[in-house]
Amino acid sequence: MTHPAPGPEVTGYWLNTEEHRNWLRTEAQRQFDFFRPSVRKGGGFHVLGYDGAPLPSTLQELHSTTRLVHSYAMGHLAGQADCQQIIDQGMAYLWKAHRDEDYGGYVWGVNDGEIADGRKLAYGHVFVLLAGASAKMAGHPDADRLIEDATSVLDFHFWQEDHGLLLDEWTRDWTPFSKYRGMNANMHGVEALLAAYEATGRDLYLTRAGRILAFFMRTIAGGEGWRIPEHYTAQWQIDRDYSGDPMFRPAGTTPGHSLEWARLLLQHWDLVGRPDDGTLEIARNVVAQALKDGWDQDHGGIVYTLDWQGKPAIADRYWWPVTEAIGVLASLIIADPTAQDEEWYRRLWQFADAHFIDHARGGWYPEIDAQGQPTTTQFAGKPDIYHSLQAALFPLAGGLSRYGATFAATPLW
């Protein structure tokens, strides 16, 4: 399955054509089919190789469990068949394996039901809230208890009311071990808080999401040339010297995250009634800068990180920045379309179609080499349905927010 290349006769917006919408539905279907074998006998999930067979490792990380629950809950809402087993198995594993009965909260890594990495990370806990919110929209009976528990832990251990932001990490017994503050956990915190608001209607979630967005998108981004630094001190000052794990805490800025922030800003703006507060301009500025800095002019794709001058620092090309670019361009086309938005939207899908989508087996390759071929430098197998599935599903919703309710009201299958 390949996407038809737009010739000069193509006019208008792909999102308005039945051909493109059918293509998106088919791509989403292929992803659901590919990842169904993730279910592991005895609980939890496998990570799948390129061929769809389980990889040998039995280590399961919190974001993997939660993202599968979220993704298949969205599929269930959209009318996709055979999603319940993954939702049920993931919800059970979150409660029985990841949840720490001794100290509370959710541990990062579990191996055959035993704790392998007991750290308590904001990044992981916000995904627990996301899983609970999506499961609630899908009607799961255990969703409320997961939402309540995750919210309680986030309130008590991670939310900093004085800053209106989330701090990052604790040991298993809630002993502090660093003063690190990060953008990434807060970004996914916004995602989870907005989903929780959509699932429950509680204003607290929407308010907190707005406070986080205000800091990064209205205070930080404009002063940094519309780029968003990754790392901060304990007092939330930009830490320009920080250089942690080059995969998960790289130095500098990450254009893929800027694109993700912009979509979340538009989602929040839609939920609060689309006020005339400059949101569209901010989102456009952030998106334009990320694409200008991040798009590899010679080979296509979006580079991973930038230095402080906006030049590529880690030029590796992963699948997820392209999916996030597709998501925000679709949101801009839905909200306030321009010809340039459409140009980018088509370019991104055509690049993904040519280099990341596995047409033979399903799913997306997570990284490509300098020649545009799949490689395994950082990732084993196909580790995630979440990013690429949302790239296919969200444009089909036809709105900026309330994806779950939209799919439930008008199923795609």
What is the tens place of the pLDDT at every residue in 179-191? 999 999 999 999 9
pLDDT tops 70 at residue 4: no
- Domain range for 196: 28-402
The predicted pLDDT at position 158 comes to 98
Asked whether residue 121 is domain-assigned, the answer is: yes
* Encoded tokens for 209: 């999401």
Known catalytic residues are 257, 387
pLDDT tops 80 at residue 200: yes
For residues 13 and 2, the model is more confident at 13
Provide mean pLDDT across the span 198-221: 98
Strands 59-61 and 109-111: antiparallel
CA 413, CA 411: separation in Å to the nearest integer? Answer: 6
Query: Which residue's entry shows tokens 């429950």?
Result: 200
pLDDT tops 60 at residue 103: yes
Provide the number of structural domains found in the chain: 1
The predicted pLDDT at position 77 comes to 98
Asked whether residue 294 is domain-assigned, the answer is: yes
Decide: 110 and 95 in contact? Cβ < 8 Å: no
* Ramachandran sector of residue 52 (left: φ over 0; alpha: ψ -120 to 50; beta: rest): left
The predicted pLDDT at position 411 comes to 98
Provide mean pLDDT across the span 222-245: 96
pLDDT tops 50 at residue 252: yes
The predicted pLDDT at position 245 comes to 85
The predicted pLDDT at position 11 comes to 62
Asked whether residue 12 is domain-assigned, the answer is: no
* Run of H or E residues at 312: strand 312-318
Provide mean pLDDT across the span 259-282: 98
CA 39, CA 193: separation in Å to the nearest integer? Answer: 27
CA 87, CA 308: separation in Å to the nearest integer? Answer: 41
327 phi, psi to nearest 5 deg: -60, -45
* CB-based contacts of 340, cutoff 8 Å, min separation 6: none
Asked whether residue 340 is domain-assigned, the answer is: yes
Categorize the per-residue pLDDT at 327 as very low, low, confident or very high, splitting at 50, 70 and 90. very high
Strand, coil or helix: 60: strand
Asked whether residue 9 is domain-assigned, the answer is: no
* Encoded tokens for 81: 């068949």
Categorize the per-residue pLDDT at 249 as very low, low, confident or very high, splitting at 50, 70 and 90. very high
CATH of the domain at 94: 1.50.10.10
Q: Per-residue pLDDT tens for 274-306?
A: 999 999 999 999 999 999 999 999 999 999 999
* Encoded tokens for 195: 């989903």
Q: Per-residue pLDDT tens for 131-188?
A: 999 999 999 999 999 999 999 999 999 999 999 999 999 999 999 999 999 999 999 9
Provide mean pLDDT across the span 97-118: 97
Decide: 399 and 334 in contact? Cβ < 8 Å: yes
Provide mean pLDDT across the span 310-324: 97
CA 385, CA 390: separation in Å to the nearest integer? Answer: 8
Asked whether residue 8 is domain-assigned, the answer is: no
Cβ neighbours around 85 below 10 Å, total: 11
Asked whether residue 19 is domain-assigned, the answer is: no
3-state secondary structure 109-173: EEECCEEEECCEEHHHHHHHHHHHHHHHHCCCCCHHHHHHHHHHHHHHHHEECCCCEECCEECCC
- This prediction has a pTM of 0.97
Sign of CA dihedral 260, 262, 263, 268: positive
Strand, coil or helix: 413: coil
CA 43, CA 92: separation in Å to the nearest integer? Answer: 8
Query: Which residue's entry shows tokens 């009965």?
Result: 101
The predicted pLDDT at position 246 comes to 82
Helix axes 183-200, 203-213, angle to 10 degrees: 150
Asked whether residue 20 is domain-assigned, the answer is: no
Q: Per-residue pLDDT tens for 5-50?
A: 444 343 699 999 999 999 999 999 999 999 999 999 999 999 999 9
Q: Per-residue pLDDT tens for 40-91?
A: 999 999 999 999 999 999 999 999 999 999 999 999 999 999 999 999 999 9
Q: Please, what's the b/e burial string for 175-207 (b: 16 or more CB within 10 A of its CB; e: otherwise)? A: eeeeebbbbbbbbbbbbbbbbbbbbbeeeebbe
The predicted pLDDT at position 10 comes to 39
Strand, coil or helix: 348: helix
